[in-house]
Chain A
Amino acid sequence: MDWGKIKFFLGEVLRNFTRNASMQITAVGTVAVTVALLGAFLYVRASVAHLGSDMLSQITASVYMNTDASAAQVEAVRTALAKDARIDKAQFVSKAEGLKELRARMKGQIDLSILTENPLPDMFRVRTRQPQEVPAVAHALAKMKGVHEVDYQRDIVARLLQIAELGRKAGIAVIAVFIVVAGIIIFNTIRLTVFARRREISIMQLVGATNMYIRMPFICEGLLDGLLGAAVALGILALAHASLAPKLAAALPWLQMNIVQVDLSSMVLELLSVGGAVGLIASWISVGRYLRT
C-alpha cells in the first residue's frame, strides 16, 4: 500500500458517501434513532436491574424456633448456619430482643405493656449470597429439630425472580428487533449506492478487479453509516443524561444511586460496536448479493 493507493481508496469511499447525501443522512439518522433507543433501553434496564437486585438482596429468611426449643437446638441451628457456604449473614434475635424490636415498631399504635409474658420465639434472620438460594436454604432449615417455621416471603421472591427473568428476555427481544431494523436500513442504503454505481462495478469487473476490492468501499461506507449513527446517538444520550439525570434523581431519590451505577464508558463502547457491526454486516451482505448475480 503506497500513499497513492490509499488516496485513491479513500477518495472512492468519500465519493460514495457524498454522492447519495440524502440517502446517507437517512441511514445515519435511522441508525442514530435506533441506537439511541437501544441506549436508552440499556440505560433503563441497567437501572432497573440494579433496583431489582437491590430489592432481591434485601430478601431474608426468618427462622423461627419453637418457643420451647432447647438451647442445644438453637445452638445446632446457629452452627448449621455458620457452616453453610450459601449464607452471607445470619443474625440471632433472641426472645427479649424480638420483643424490644416489636415494641419499637408498634410504638404509639398498640400498647404492648398489656403483655404479661414474652410470646415471641427465638429467631435467626438469614441472608443468602444469592437471592435464588433462599428457598433451598429455607427448606433445609425447616427440617431441623426445634425449628418451628421458616418464613421467607415466598411469593415475593418467586415474583421478583420471575420479573427479573421476564425483563431480561424482553430486553433481548427488543434489542434484537432494533438491530434488525438498523441492519435492514443500512442494507438498503448500500444497495442503492451499489445500484447507483453498477456501471462502475461492471467496469471494475471487466478490467479484473477482485470482488474483495470492489466490496471494500461499500463495506467502509456501511461501517461509516453505523459508526456515525452510533456517534450521533451517543450525543443525544449524553445530552439526555446530563439534563435528565439530576431531575430524575431529585424526583426519585431511591433511583439516584442506581443511575450512578450504570457503567457509561462500557455502554459507549457497546453502542459504537453495535452500530459499526450492524453497518459492516449489512453492507457485506448487500454487496455480496449483487456481486453473486
Chain B
Amino acid sequence: MISLRGVTLVYPNGVRAIDGIDLEIAKGDFVFLVGHSGTGKSSLLRLLYREMMPTTGVITVDGIRVDRLRRGRIPALRRHLGVVFQDFKLLTDKTVWENVAFALQVTGTNTKEIVRQVPRCLDMVGLSHKSRMYPDELSGGEQQRTAIARAIVNNPKLLLCDEPTGNLDPQNTTEIMELLGRINLKGTTVVVATHNQAVVDRMRRRVVRLEDGRIITDEERGYYFLGLGQDQVLSG
C-alpha cells in the first residue's frame, strides 16, 4: 500500500525533517508512528498525501508515484485516502451531516450516492442522532468522530491520522482508537502518528519509531517506549 525508498525532505530553511527513510506498509496494516515532537512524524504523513514533495527518494501510495505526482493530479490521490488531524478541521458553519457530505459534494458525487453514503458513515462513527448539530455543539470526541466519518466517506483504502487523540480525554481517546481499529478491520490501511503512550501500549500494533527524521526501530507488536516488549524486532 505504501512504499518509501531513500526518502529525504529538507525544508527551505535547511532543516532535514526526513533524513533517509525506507518503509513498507502492507495493505490492511495498522501502524503507529511514534517519536518526540519534531522528529518528522507529521512531515512523513504530509509526504504521503502530497502536501509536501520529498527532496529525494521514491514514494508510492496505492500504486501512485507520489514523488512524481503533478499538481493537477493531487485530487485523484486524495480521493483514495482519508486524513484526520488533531484539530479536526471541521467547517463550523456546516452541520455534522453537511461536513461529511462536503467531502463527497466537492468531488462531484451525485446526490443519490451522498444520501446513501453519509448515513452509513455517521452510523459507523455513532453520530447518526447528532447529524443536524453543528461542530460547536459537540464534544471533542464527537467532533473527531465527525472528522473520521468525513475521512472515510470516500471509502478510502488508506487512512492517515496525525495526532487524532491529541485534544481528547482518555475516555474519548479510547473510543476513537476503537473506531480506528474497526475501520482497519474492514480492510482500510491505517497509519496513526501519536505520542499517546497508553494508546500504543494497549493496542499492541506495529510501531515505527522516528528520531531526527530517521526510523530507529520498527516493531511488529510494539510498545510506546523501546525495550518494554519481549517480541520486538530491530530493523535497519
Contacts and interface: CB of A to CB of B under 8 A. Distances in A.
A208 B76 contact: yes
A3 B111 CA distance: 8
Nearest to B151: A207
Of residues B79, B110, B111, which shows the largest number of chain A Cβ atoms within 10 Å of its Cβ? B111
Contacts of B89: 199, 202-203, 206
Interface residues of B, number: 23
Interface string B89-110: 1010000000000110111101
Given A199-B89, A210-B75, A204 B106 contact: yes
Contacts of B74: 205, 208
Of residues A4, A204, A205, A206, which shows the largest number of chain B Cβ atoms within 10 Å of its Cβ? A206
B103 A207 contact: yes
B154 interface: yes
B17 interface: no
A202 B91 CA distance: 11
A2 B83 CA distance: 28
A200 interface: yes
B72 interface: yes
Contacts of A4: 110-111, 114
Interface in B12-52: 49
A13 to B, nearest CB: 14
A182 to B, nearest CB: 30
B106 A213 contact: yes
- Give the size range of A's interface with the partner: 10 to 19
Contact of B108 (A5, A200, A211, A214): A5
B107 A211 contact: no
Interface in A7-44: 8
B75 A208 contact: yes
Contact of B154 (A207, A210, A213, A214): A207
A22 B218 CA distance: 56
Nearest to B114: A4
B90 to A, nearest CB: 8
A240 interface: no
Contacts of B103: 207-208
Contacts of B145: none
Chain A contact residues: helix, strand, loop or mixed: helix
B55 to A, nearest CB: 19
Nearest to B107: A208
Contacts of B76: 208
A207 B102 CA distance: 9
Contact of A207 (B72, B112, B150): B150
B214 interface: no
B78 interface: yes
A203 B200 CA distance: 28
Interface in A185-206: 199-200, 202-206
A214 B102 CA distance: 12
Nearest to A207: B103
Contacts of B154: 207-208
Contacts of B106: 204, 207-209, 213-214
Interface in A30-60: none
B111 A5 contact: yes
A97 to B, nearest CB: 80
Interface in B105-123: 105-108, 110-112, 114
Nearest to A6: B111
Contacts of B114: 4
A204 B108 CA distance: 12
Contact of A199 (B77, B91, B102): B91
Contacts of A210: 72, 75
A202 B51 CA distance: 11
A101 to B, nearest CB: 79
Given A203-B102, A208-B76, A209-B106, 5 more contacts: A2-B111, A4-B114, A8-B105, A207-B154, A208-B103
Minimum-distance CB pairs A-B, first 7: A4-B111, A208-B78, A209-B106, A208-B79, A207-B103, A208-B75, A210-B75
8 contacts: A2-B110, A2-B112, A5-B108, A204-B102, A204-B106, A207-B102, A208-B75, A208-B106
